[in-house]
Amino acid sequence: MIDPAHNSEQVTRILFQDFPLWMTVSFYIIGLSALAYFGYGCYVEIRKYKRGKEFPTLPEMGAKAWKMVTDVLLHRTLKRRDTSAGKAHMMIFYGFAICFIATSIITLQEDITKPLFGLTFWYGSFYLWFSLTVDIAGLGLICGLLYMMYRRKWLALPKLDYTRPDRSPEDPDFSRMKYKREDWVFLWSLIIIAITGFILEAVRLVWLQADSTVYDYRWWSPVGNVIAEILQGVGMTSDAASTTRMYLWWFHGLIALTFIAVIPRTKIKHVFTAMGSLAVRSDLPIQRLPEVDMDQDKIGYSKLTDFNFKNLLHLDACTKCGRCHEACPANATGYPLSPRDFVLTLRELAEEKLEGKSMPENEEDLRALGTGMNQVRSETLWACRTCAACVEICPVGIEHVPMIVEMRRALIEEGDFDPMLQTALQALHKSGNSFGDNKRKRPNWSKKLDFKIKNAAKEPVDVLWFVGDYASFDPRSQKVSQDFAKILNAAGVDFGILYEKEMSAGNDVRRVGEEGLYQHLVENNIATLEGCEFNRIVTTDPHSFNTLKNEYPEFGGKYDIEHASAMIQRMLSDGTIKLDKEIDATATYHDPCHLGRYNKGYDAPRQALKEMGVELIEMTRSRDNSFCCGAGGGRIWHADPIELEKPSENRAKEAMTLEGVDTLVVNCPKCMTMMEDAVKSTGADKQMVVKELIELVAERMTLDAPEEVEEPAPAPAKEEAPAAEAAAEPAKEENKGGDA
């Protein structure tokens, strides 16, 4: 590797070769100043985070560090649903990291080991492999940056368009051009640093072409050598290269030092904040919302200092990649919400209010809710379906939904919410269900069966079926409940229901921000369940399934619980369910958010369809990328504006594009309500029918069709927006007002 005629210690690169002393001193002064500015920027950012609540201890952060490290090194989160961007980012990340490490190695020798201990190692074989590695890394960095430029400029992806859906052009904070400028400055700065580094390497080779300890090993710097050959080919001499090298050295060095200095103040800080955000993310960020002490004076987030350290770190971690913006059903259908813009709005407010030496004395100046500059508007928060598509796809672990819910809690405290939501919440508080029906009517659907369902509140059962509000009161869902009861009965399952003792599980109550009512429902349900004797719980409602499984344990309610689709699939597989009839159906399956994205319940319903002989054709947006029906987060208790497309209609149109599909299979009572309406309003009912998975099983079992149940009066929440005023009247016992 090293020519025997050469001293291996001379096969190296002299850092300040031919520099006068004043230049070397000047470089160190500038370098230390850049590091000092970098350090002060970091201090300002950390001070900002500490002005929020609950600054972490190192052990709390360290517990999640390993997962963060593996996510970063493997780029798991970045490659999902945008493989090209993920690979390009990996080239940039590793190219930058290797070049940074290389610079650190040089600094280690020149500024620490050599002056303090006389120890040098940057020569000989180590230096040659070092040079080759850095050349490859730098080339990868440039290739990744060029692709990102191409992607941003020529592909013109909609998710990289920063037009805000929550502001009008006349609003002073409508324009996000500063982010576009920042993106391009970031890309050009890095690519100029990388390219000038290669040119500097090439100029050095031309300058020292007479030195065999340099020129004989030029192919260990392959990119630099190719450029050197070109420079020599156009006539560059050794003397010209010497002069050029001096100017280029300073140009390259000053840009690199400036880049380092401004890291905490620019987009570049995401290199660190993204890793921090991934390290502190919750294990169940969407499944289990933060508990609230109901005895405290104030609930929810209304001002910046209500946000905790993690929230503020999340705001700075956002890279504006647009994946959450693209996945959001509210944004896709014209509602004033983009998860990205929600985060950026709060980031801008935090930069304005929390980064100064002192915070505003007037707490109103810290207010995050409102219609002012960089404040989040209530209509933005209420547009959210809490489907968690944003949280699930975010490559840097931002938890949008918990922050939105915390701000909704403040809106609930202030009384800033839709009258129709008020009606539903009043009904829930009075009767334990969002329909406003007397609780004695909860089991009425079961009276039409030709067998008696056990009362689990009074006698032991193996399986306790937590039915849920929609499955109990909604006429369409009642038929599905009757089918499920018949399936369990035919399969010989020892099961029972709670009859009038059951109350709403409260999942959506919590997600609209009514924590007090949620805890009231939880306490009552847990008290009821504690008095029952059962082995496991099953529910046909994914919303109830989620909160019973993930949130009730924090209140002392720990149960073995599964969704009906998993139970059905298991009984189909082991032969407990006997199928007697063939069905000819070509179906597509709509993943409910609370079963799929929240709890990874993707496979059981699909396997059940397969075992029933149903041909399944997947929609483009399926499994973790499934598109919300629009019912979640309490939106089923709101009227949708007539002029806007509903998320369920958007989903129905997607299903219509699948050739040959005659059945849209759902697996949730709320999805049933939303998708049946959408299929009718879009004209898709001429092509397909909406069926519950349970109904398909019942058809295969040739179970008798359930008798019709007396339907309640039309629900006000299904009326269009003008009816909202009437819906604001307090719920009365005879008002069936929960069918949103």
| The predicted structure's pLDDT at residue 55 | 66
Residue 83: pLDDT above 60? Answer: yes
So what's the pLDDT on residue 729?
A: 39
Q: What is the average pLDDT across 688-706?
A: 86
Amino acid at residue number 78: L
CA distances from 600 to 230, 466, 595, 625 (A): 56, 20, 6, 11
Which strands sit side by side in the sheet containing 536-539, from one edge to the other? 454-455, 495-497, 463-465, 536-539, 561-563
Mean pLDDT score of the chain = 92
State how far the Cα of 202 lies from the Cα of 451, in Å rounded to an integer: 87
Amino acid at 596: G
144-185 pLDDT, tens digit each: 999 999 999 999 899 998 999 999 999 999 999 999 999 999
Phi, psi of 495, deg, nearest 5: -135, 165
Cα 104 to Cα 99, 132, 141, 511: the distances in Å are: 9, 17, 18, 48
Give the model's pLDDT for residue 432: 95
Spatial neighbors of 598 by CB under 8 A, at least 6 apart, are: 286, 287, 388, 542, 546, 550
List beta partners, residue 455: 497
Mean pLDDT of 316-327: 95
Q: Which long-range contacts (CB under 8 A, 24 or more apart) does 190-193 make?
A: 190/92, 190/96, 190/141, 190/145, 190/259, 191/142, 191/145, 191/146, 191/149, 192/255, 193/252, 193/255, 193/256, 193/259
Query: pLDDT tier at 60 (50, 70, 90 boundaries)?
Result: low
CA distance 498 to 343: 42
Percentage of the chain modeled with pLDDT above 70: 94
d(CA 505, CA 521): 7
Confidence check: pLDDT of 62 > 90? no
Angle at 132 between CA 128 and CA 137, to 5 degrees: 145
Q: Name the pLDDT band for 581 (thresholds 50, 70, 90).
A: confident
- pLDDT bucket at 390, cuts 50 / 70 / 90: very high
Helices (H), 64-158: 65-74, 76-79, 83-108, 114-117, 124-150
Residue 733 confidence (pLDDT) above 50: no
Would you kindly state where each structural domain of the chain is located, as residue ranges? 65-156, 176-261, 278-417, 420-727
Q: How many CB atoms lie within 10 A of CB 543?
A: 29
Q: What is the pLDDT of residues 405-451, one digit of tens each?
A: 999 999 999 999 999 999 999 999 999 999 999 999 999 999 999 99
Give the per-residue pLDDT at 719: 37
pLDDT band at residue 582 under the 50/70/90 scheme:
confident
Name residue, tokens 């990649």.
321
Answer whether residue 730 shows pLDDT above 80: no
**Start-end of H helices in 371-433:** 378-382, 389-393, 400-414, 419-431
pLDDT-based confidence at residue 732 (cuts at 50, 70, 90): very low
- Split at pLDDT 50, 70, 90, the class of 661 is very high
Q: Is it the case that residue 584 has pLDDT exceeding 60?
A: yes
- Which is it for the CA torsion 211, 214, 219, 221, positive or negative? negative
Confidence of residue 88 (pLDDT cuts 50, 70, 90): very high
Q: Which helix (H) or strand (E) holds 691?
A: strand 689-692
593 in Cβ contact with 541 (< 8 Å): no
Question: What pLDDT, in 10s, does the model give residues 593-631?
Answer: 999 999 999 999 999 999 999 999 999 999 999 999 999
Q: Tell me what pLDDT residue 570 has.
A: 96
What is the model's pLDDT at position 296?
Answer: 87
Percent over 90 (pLDDT), the chain: 87
In a 10 Å sphere around its CB, with 0-12 CB exposed, 13-18 middle and 19+ buried, how is residue 108 labelled?
A: middle
Q: Is 158 exposed, middle or buried (0-12, 13-18, 19+ CB in 10 A)?
A: exposed
Residue 301 has pLDDT above 50, yes or no: yes
How confident is the model at residue 56, as a pLDDT? 63
In this prediction, residue 735 carries a pLDDT of: 36
Residue 521: which of 536, 509, 538 has the closest Cα? Answer: 509
pLDDT at 724 over 50: no
Angle, helix 124-150 to helix 83-108, in steps of 10 degrees: 150
Global confidence as pTM? 0.90
Distance from C-alpha of 102 to C-alpha of 676, rounded to nearest angstrom? 61
pLDDT at 554: 95
CATH topology of domain 278-417: Fumarate Reductase Iron-sulfur Protein; Chain B, domain 2 (1.10.1060)
Q: Would you place residue 716 in the very low, low, confident or very high pLDDT band (cuts 50, 70, 90)?
A: very low
* Exposure class string for 681-708: b at 16+ Cβ within 10 A, else e: ebebeebbebbbbbbbbbbbbebeebee
Average pLDDT over residues 633-659: 94
